[in-house]
Amino acid sequence: MSTMTPEQIMTQAEKLCLQRGVRLTTQRAEVLRLMAAQHGSISAYDLLDRLRATEPQAKPPTVYRALDFLLEQGFIHRVESNNSYVVCHHFEAPAHTSVMLVCDRCAAVTEKQAQGVEKIIGDLAGEAGFALRHSVIEAHGLCVSCAEVASCTHPENCDHDHEADGKKRGKKG
């Protein structure tokens, strides 16, 4: 799965909205642009903060309405376990189940397509006579760079940002 640049994300989204006959309003486009520029996932409130740089009158419903639209169009995914949102890097593909690899230290989210897992869930639901709508698979841990920092044995003599370790502990408590 290749990732798209923020420019490609915007171009693709505009193209799909045109095809689907839905409107990518300035606000919706701006929210998607902010998310595309973001490394990892972002909460609705952080989005609101950033949106206010260009739209000072933006309110929480402004952001939630834009997020709902982007979710509906499949341009973004909700990361349920930390209540944040992340851009989908293959939204031209039909509705899909992905495994979200969520870094607990820096909140980076890597989306991996989960065809095998998707089939297993579908089969299990079928056996149970359950009408499956959507499923969310999220795995927590440390991303490559955070795992490297976490395993660092010389914090007083390295280029890592060990500050974030303390931040995380404070936030969790």
Please, what is the Cα angle at 91 between 88 and 97, to 5 degrees?
A: 70
Among the listed ranges 11-19, 26-34, 60-68, 150-158, the one in contact with Zn ion (CB under 5 A) is: 150-158
Among the listed ranges 41-49, 105-113, 114-122, 130-138, the one in contact with Zn ion (CB under 5 A) is: 105-113
Helix (H/G/I), strand (E/B), else coil: 85: strand
30 is in an annotated binding site: no
Tokens of 158: 């390295």
Among the listed ranges 6-14, 65-73, 96-104, 121-129, the one in contact with Zn ion (CB under 5 A) is: 96-104
Interface with Zn ion includes 146 (CB under 5 A)? yes
Run of H or E residues at 161: none
Residue type, 65: R
Burial of 127 (0-12, 13-18, 19+ CB in 10 A): exposed
Query: Which residue lies nearer to Zn ion by CB, 58 or 109?
Result: 109
Euclidean distance between CA atoms 98 and 19, whole angstroms: 24
Contact 146, 105 (CB under 8 A): yes
β-bridge mates for residue 79, sequence order: 84
**Considering the complex, what minimum distance in angstroms separates the CB of residue 28 from Zn ion?**
18
Interface with Zn ion includes 152 (CB under 5 A)? yes
Query: Which residue lies nearer to Zn ion by CB, 136 or 158?
Result: 158
Instruction: Indicate which single residue of 32, 88, 102, 109 sits in contact with Zn ion (rule: CB under 5 A).
Output: 88
Among the listed ranges 11-19, 28-36, 57-65, 94-102, the one in contact with Zn ion (CB under 5 A) is: 94-102
Euclidean distance between CA atoms 11 and 17, whole angstroms: 10
106 is in an annotated binding site: yes
Interface with Zn ion includes 143 (CB under 5 A)? yes
Euclidean distance between CA atoms 130 and 36, whole angstroms: 35
Site residues (vs Zn ion, CB under 5 A): 88, 98, 103, 105-106, 108, 143, 146, 152, 155, 158, 160
Residues comprising the binding site for Zn(2+)?
103, 106, 143, 146
